[in-house]
Amino acid sequence: MLRFLLRRFFLALGTLLVLSVLVYFMVDLALDPLADLRQSTSPNKADLVARRVALLKLDEPWWVRYFDWLGGFVRGDLGMAWRTQQTVASQLQGAVTTSISLVLSATVLALMLGIMIGIVSALRQYTGFDYSITLVSFVLYSLPVFWVAVLLKQFMAIGMNDFLDNPTLNVPVTTVISAVFGLFWAGALGGSPRRKILVFAAATLITGGTWAFIVFSGWLDAPRLGFFGVGIIGFAFAVIITMAFAGLNNKRALYSALTTAAVGLGVYYGLQWLWFYVPADFWQIVLLLVSAIAVAMLIGWLWGGPDRGVSMRGAVIVALIIAVMTFVDRVLQVYPEYYNSSMIRGRPIATIGAQTPNLNADFWMANLDRFTHLLLPTVALVLISFAGYTRYQRGSMLEVLSQEYIRTARAKGLSERVVIVRHALRNALMPLASIIPVDLVAVIGGAVITETIFGWSGMGKLFIDSMQNSEIDPVMAYVMITGALAMTANLLADLLYAVLDPRIRVNA
Amino acid sequence: MATKKLLAAATGLIVGALAFTACTPPTPNASSTASTAQPTSVSVMWNQPMYSMNNVTTFGNATANANIVYLTNDNWMYYDKGLNMVPNKSYGTYEKTSDSPLTVKMTLADTATWSDGVPVTAADVILAYGAQSGLFNTVTGDDADGLYNEDGTIKDVGAGKVYFDSSSAGLALIKDFPIVDGKTVTVTYSKPFADWEQYMTAFGAGLPAHIVGKRALGEADPTKAAEAVLNAFKTKDAAALSKISNVWNQDWNFTKMPDDKDLVVGSGPYTISDYKENQYLTVTKNANYKGEHTASIDSITVRYNEDPMAAVQALQNGEVQLISPQATADILTAAKAINNVEVYTGDEATYEHVDPTFNNGGPFDPKTYGGDAEKAKKVRQAFLLTIPRQTIVDNIIKPINPNAAVRNSFIVIPSASNYATVSEANGMGTTYANVDIEKAKSLLAEAGAKSPKVRILYAKSNVRRQQEFRLMKESAEKAGFQVIDNGSDDWGAKLGDKSYDVSFFGWQSTGTGVTESDANYRTKGLNNFSGYSNKDVDALFDELQTTVDPAKQTEIVSKIEKIMVDDAFGVTIFQFPGVTAYSKALSGIDPVSISPTIFWNFWQWKIS
């Protein structure tokens, strides 16, 4: 194991070194730091050119500059973006944080959505549902992000803000969208034609009805979930989660989930008082979340019985859902104030930037503001990247389902739920272990086009801007960091795989 | 079983408690709706973030910085819509008291105040002069080992060494130390300098001397600190100047709100109040401002995004009220489609020009004709006659700027007041008014040049340049030229290397000074890439350098341009088009072509 790690480590070092030489040479060839001065008519142009040549040592061959750079790099000095005289280290600090906050939520969302839809798609293989999902995911996969971004801004920001200004019910659009939801649920839940028709009708009516209620009740002016909203969502999920992971026959699991929902609802009520008197901050929320998980585990353990793990897991998931709902509800409570703020001017959904300038916001409003800014880029990224996960998960699920042991499990009379959740799902998730680390690392690499169009200055934009400014140091820092992380991620994926799958051994 | 009962009881208790609690949880807000008069604000989109508040250093010299400096600092004069120089009397007055030697007397007004309440003094003027003139430097700019760290930052120059990272040709002519008398500073140029008035802004574009003094010399009292700076320059105190130059070069470079509020002290109507790295920068009204340019809007936020379509959509979504994105026909269409938005199209500071090469042994070089300059000139004239200038403007520029016209001057910006005089006198407009293929053919026949090969250099990946090239090629081939596409992405580095016969690209004007063009057209001038040489032009440029009277300057410029047109030096084609769009709630926007473009009259902006 140690030998394996050491070998990989030295291999990675060598690769990085070669990478740095190649990239430095090519970037140096491509960049022209004097480009802007060539068009200048400034009277002191000769002096400016001389200074820049001296500054960047342009009179020396590229390899001299490379060794200068390498010398600094190995000593931890990443160099300087000479045009703005900022150290690369300080540039990276801001860029990495921005990239993570922008891309992380999108990646996690895309993963969850992609896996779920992929599994359902596999279970309904060769049905209309499966074909539709395949079609949609290929269409999304091939969409160029800059185009999606412009459309999203036009419809989900500008159009949505116009709509919020004067909400009306557009009957044809609502009908079509409700019908699409109806078809989705009918296809996803499957069953006999009669059941499908029932599901379709119910889902269509519920979607359309909910939307009509939202528009007509004035809910959009002061949206919130409220005590009943959180309650309904909490109890519904308690039942659904139990159904999926334990089965409703497991009374202990059901009771522990329901108890968690009830306790959560009580806590929701109490928190309204807490937050009224004690201003919230990040660490308080983290603390609350951790205690929610702890309480849920305790509830699960107390109800437990012989199969404690299942009850505890269900309770924790329910607790998390209620915690998120409580948080969302509290954030939504500041919406009217936010909407009427002089900085928002009644147009809450933003098309650029990471925050509204000069918004005098408390913790909750800052979060709402962050959300309205994150909305569009996140949707854009999710739309484009979730398609890949769907295909991947569908493939791996189908492969597992066709194996002998699944047939054996069915043959010995296990319920379909147990076969899928306990036997198939776990193995079908394993191949993902090799792509998740790599994708999470790509998060740090940033999303160039999305960042530029939505005005988030993350890693991708840092890279492009530095290229345009002919600043080689930040470009090299970017290449080195993403290169090193990519190698780490691959190593991590290999190790993770070995841990998850006992058939694979890590050996030198 | 016991635990189960316990849990059930607990649950029941909580639910019961809730059910029986009559009171509902408190909800936030309610306070905000009753509002007092909200402060007014306006958001502007700009493509590059500010990175240095000292925009007269060699690296801080960028529009992104100049805009913010302009918003937060007053100066001796500014350019108005017609690019005339307007003195700002509330900052100070200046007058030329003698032509020989050229002497300028400037007096600071009592209303000139820094935003921390300290008055602007002669020390501030001397700091600006001393730092930019380069006369106090003991190390030169190309002395790399002495000045730069390995990573490219400017080093703290060693004790006793002085290096201000700036250079100004004009201020370097003031060799004698200025005479300081209270709030009056009198400077004497060692030789007459044509653009002395344009360079007045250099005396105001400064950092507050009292804060430089505080940071460099550790003197906390503002009056004493400013005086210490003044004395350091006066006595050429190398130890003190060394520290001052380090502070001056480095301390004002920031990309987010600095912790030390001293660094945002300015003399203008606004002061920086917030700066989020790469996101936005907000300037708010300066309470201590007493000058004329009092603004009506309480705060201006400059938001940063370089994507033109993002700017248009942000304008439509109300996130910004004023944009000036990179102009294309698509952007113009998109901006025009928005309700309640005013769109302005006009000129930018960059202009396109076509230059034949004189010294590469090609079709335009006298050497090709055995040294017969007349023949070479005829071939140049023939080529220039084929350039479809009007068609280029009509097809490529007018879709963006409907008021665009062919530019007919090498030196003067079309929006400047003396443009009409110069462009009429130089004869470019009449000589090359229309494409004249027949005349071009006969000129080629006279010169005895049979279908000369012309290699044209331009920016190959630039769509606008590709279109121009196609139009030029088509027209020139009609007259019998063989046009060879020498376009390159590396065109900038190829300028002047004699590998092409004609080049076309843009020059960017930075002001209305007449000395600016010197290097473009003088024999062996730094920007004279085509190898043009005419002794009369050189002599006239020498004269122009030292001519202070504007009317006389226009006369000399006209003479220079006339010779250049007669020599068939080349032609200018158009001014780059710019698009500015703003919300109808905003009024008073009236962009000019040179920096600070949209911001020049910010104090006249109003928002409803």
pLDDT tops 60 at residue B146? no
Q: How close does chain B come to A206, measured CA to CA in Å?
A: 28
Per-residue pLDDT tens digits for B26-75: 665 544 444 456 789 999 999 889 989 998 887 788 888 999 999 999 99
- Using an 8 Å CB-CB cutoff, list chain A residues near B492: 32, 34-35, 38-39
Q: How many CA atoms lie within 13 A of A208 on its CB side?
A: 18
Supply the pLDDT for residue A465: 87
Test A54 with B518 for CB contact under 8 angstroms.
no
pLDDT tens-digit profile of A299-323?
999 987 788 888 999 999 999 999 9
Residue A270 sits at the vertex; the CA angle it makes with A301 and B12, to the nearest 5 degrees, is 55
Higher pLDDT, B507 or B603: B603
- Please choose, from the candidates A460, A445, A462, A480, the residue with its C-alpha nearest in 3D space to the C-alpha of residue A73: A480
Does A272 sit within 8 Å of B25, measured CB to CB? yes
Asked if the Cβ–Cβ distance from B317 to A161 is below 8 Å, we say: yes
Residues of chain B with CATH 3.90.76.10: 75-260
Q: Tell which residue, A37, A88, A146, A8, has the closest CA to residue A471.
A: A88
Q: Tell me the pLDDT of chain A averaged across its residues.
A: 88
DSSP characters over A291-353:
HHHHHHHHHHHHH-GGGHHHHHHHHHHHHHHHHHHHHHHHHHHTHHHHHH-TTTTT--S-SSS
With CA atoms as reference, the chain B residue closest to A71 would be B150
Whether B108 and B92 have beta carbons less than 8 Å apart is answered as yes
Can you point out the beta strands (E) in B110-188? Answer: 179-181, 184-188
Assign A5 a pLDDT band (cuts: 50, 70, 90).
confident
Per-chain mean pLDDT for chain B: 88
Give pLDDT, residue A284: 94
B46 closest CA partner among B333, B346, B326, B345 = B326
Alpha helices by DSSP H, listed for A75-216, are 88-123, 128-141, 145-152, 160-165, 171-189, 193-216
pLDDT cut 90: percent of chain A above it: 47
Q: CA of B521: which chain A residue's CA is closest?
A: A41
DSSP B113: B
Please give the pLDDT value at position B333: 93
pLDDT confidence of residue B511: 77
The interface pTM score, or ipTM, of the predicted complex is 0.84
Q: Give, in words, the CATH class of B75-260.
A: alpha beta
Q: How far is B559 from chain A (nearest CA, A)?
A: 21
**Chain B residues closer than 8 Å to A265 by CB:** 18
Tokens of A13: 């070092």
CB neighbour burial string for A378-404, b if at least 16 within 10 angstroms, e if fewer: bbbbbbbbbbbbbbbbbebbbebbeee
Kindly indicate whether the domain formed by B352-503+512-570 is annotated with CATH number 3.10.105.10. yes
Determine the Cα–Cα distance for residues B142 and B151; give it in Å rounded to an integer: 16
Between the CA of residue A169 and those of A219, B102, B569, what are the distances in Å? 13, 76, 68
CA B138 to chain centre: 29
Query: Rounded CA gap, B62 and B45, in Å?
Result: 16
The bridge status of strand B453-457 relative to strand B482-485 is parallel
Question: Cα separation of A311 and A323, whole Å?
Answer: 18
pLDDT at site B152: 46
> For B277, which of A42, A94, A272 is closest by C-beta distance?
A94
DSSP code, position A79? -
Phi and psi at residue A308, to the nearest 5°: -65, -40
Chain A contact set for B527 (CB, 8 A): 41, 45
Tell me how far apart the alpha carbons of residues B530 and B570 are, in angstroms, rounded to a whole number: 10
Query: What's the pLDDT score for residue B32?
Result: 45
Q: How far is CA A269 from CA A290, B144, B153, in A?
A: 18, 68, 57
Specify whether the CB–CB gap between B311 and B294 falls below 8 A: no
Strand partners, B181: B184
Cβ-contact B354, B361 below 8 angstroms:
no
Contact (CB, 8 A) for B356 and B475 = no
Q: Are A453 and B310 a contacting pair at CB < 8 A?
A: yes
Of B4, B14, B21, the CB nearest to A263: B14
Q: Is the dihedral of CA A400, A403, A404, A410 positive or negative?
A: positive
Cα distance between residue A40 and residue B299, in whole Å? 33
> Cα separation of A406 and A430, whole Å?
16
Partner residue facing B26 (CB), from A150, A276, A341: A276
User: Cα–Cα distance between B271 and B279 in angstroms, integer?
Assistant: 18
DSSP state of B325: P
- Asked whether A329 and A367 are in contact (CB, 8 A), the reply is no
The whole-angstrom distance between B79's CA and the closest CA on chain A is 18
Start-end ranges of CATH 3.10.105.10 in chain B?
352-503+512-570
Residue B97: burial class (beta carbons within 10 Å; 0-12, 13-18, 19+): exposed
Interface check for A46 against chain B (CB to CB < 8 A): the answer is yes
DSSP secondary structure letter of residue A149: H
Q: Single out the residue of A264, A308, A242, A248 nearest to residue B3, CA to CA.
A: A308
Burial of residue A176 (number of CB atoms within 10 Å: 0-12, 13-18, 19+): exposed
What kind and span of H or E run contains B607?
strand B606-607
Q: Which amino acid is at B251?
A: D
Q: What pLDDT, on the 0 to 100 scale, is given for residue A433?
A: 79
Q: Inter-chain contact A153–B310, Cβ cutoff 8 Å?
A: yes
What is the pLDDT at residue B283? 96
- For residues A448 and B444, what is the distance between their CA atoms, to the nearest angstrom? 53
Task: Looking at the complex, report in whole angstroms how far the Cα of residue B450 sits from the nearest Cα belonging to chain A.
Answer: 34
pLDDT of residue B145 exceeding 80, the answer is no
**Residue B579, C-beta contacts closer than 8 angstroms, at least 6 positions apart:** B324, B325, B327, B331, B332, B335, B343, B344, B345, B400, B401
Residue B82, exposed/middle/buried by CB under 10 A (0-12, 13-18, 19+)? exposed
Q: Which pair of tokens denotes residue A155? A: 């419809």
CA gap B493, B479 in Å, rounded: 31
Return the beta strands (E) in B247-406 as ranges.
270-276, 280-285, 299-304, 322-323, 341-356
Measured in angstroms, the CA of B597 and the nearest CA of chain A are apart by 18
CA distances from A95 to A234, A351, A446, B543 (A): 38, 19, 9, 53
Quote the tokens at residue B443. 């000129």
Confidence check: pLDDT of A213 > 70: yes
Residue with tokens 């801007």: A465
Provide, rounded to the nearest whole percent, the portion of chain A with pLDDT above 70: 98
Nearby residues of A25 by Cβ (< 8 Å), 6 or more positions away? A62, A66
Inform me whether the pLDDT recorded for A101 exceeds 90. Answer: no
Angle between helices A432-445 and A363-401 (to 10 degrees): 150
CA gap A158, A375 in Å, rounded: 13
In chain B, the residue whose alpha carbon lies closest to the alpha carbon of A332 is B28
Confidence of residue B204 (pLDDT cuts 50, 70, 90): confident
Structure tokens at B232: 């350091």
What are the angstrom distances between the C-alpha of B37 and each of A345, A490, B346?
15, 58, 36
A227-241, A351-365, A434-448, B547-561, range with the lowest pLDDT: A434-448
Mean pLDDT of A219-228: 89
* pLDDT at residue number A79: 85
Test B58 with A51 for CB contact under 8 angstroms.
yes
What per-residue confidence (pLDDT) applies to B144? 43
Name which of A406-415, A492-501, B70-79, B314-323 the model is least confident about. A492-501
Is the bond leading into B101 cis (omega within 30 degrees of zero)? yes
In this prediction the pTM is 0.85
> Alpha-carbon dihedral of residues B19, B22, B23, B24, nearest 10 degrees?
40
- SS3 call for B368: helix
For residue B30 the two structure tokens come to 């309610």
The nearest alpha carbon in chain A to B167 belongs to A44
From the list B251, B242, B253, B214, the residue with the least C-alpha distance to B130 is B242
Residue B256 to residue B49: CA distance in whole angstroms: 10
Instruction: Please tell me the distance from the alpha carbon of residue B165 to that of residue B69, in angstroms, as a whole number.
Output: 18
- How far is B156 from B246, CA to CA, in rounded Å? 6
Q: Which of B173, B273, B280 to mutate to test the interface with A (most CBs of A within 10 A)?
A: B280
Q: What is the dihedral of CA B536, B539, B544, B549, to 10 degrees?
A: -90
A351: contact with B, CB 8 A cutoff: yes
Which one has a higher pLDDT value, B520 or B559?
Answer: B559
